Amino acid sequence: MFLPLPGMANCIPPWQVQFACHIPARDARAEFCRLADPADHPGLKEAYYSYAAGTNPAELYFQTDSIWFSTKDTDIDHPFDLTMALGYARGDYIYAFVVTEDSRTPGGIREAEVRVYGSAEAFTSETRHTELVRLHCDPATILADRDSIRP
């Protein structure tokens, strides 16, 4: 089921929302769902990703135990921002959400994107703009478990 409303996500318990947002340019919803404690659920993968356009069933859904982290998009000279990315691996591809926090704002995620990288190397390298796809999230619809995405 697709819920296009701000602040709504469809993660199936026991998975919980790690990140979700509405992508206006595609009238789509991306959701990154993760187990709070994978040891409590030994038969399940640690995380899953789903992407659905409009009210259609998910066009992409996969589960993974391979989660990657990157801060390569952080501008170290910017006094207020920290940009972090978490990626879920599917084969050679990394499906990632990238959030930029503004330390001046409580709850501080100013903007977010969903990106697709063609390899772990493209995701983890220090070279920017290596993604194959970049989709901008509607800031009003961003749901993020900030505790699980910080370095």
Q: Is residue 19 part of a domain?
A: yes
Q: How many domains does the chain have?
A: 1
pTM of the predicted model as reported, rounded to 2 decimal places? 0.88
| Residue 116 within any structural domain of the chain | yes
Judge whether 5 lies within some domain.
no
Residue ranges making up the domain that contains 71: 15-149
One-letter amino acid for residue 39 of the chain: A
Q: Where are the beta strands (DSSP E) in the chain?
A: 15-23, 28-35, 47-53, 60-64, 67-70, 81-90, 93-102, 109-117, 133-136, 143-144
The answer as to whether 114 is a domain residue is yes
Which residues have C-beta within 8 Å of that of residue 141, sequence separation ≥ 6? 4, 5, 6, 7, 20, 21, 22
Instruction: Please check whether residue 81 lies inside any domain of the structure.
Output: yes
Domain assignment present for 2: no
For the stretch 117-137, pLDDT in tens is 999 999 999 999 999 999 999
Residue 133: inside a domain? yes
% pLDDT > 90, the chain: 70
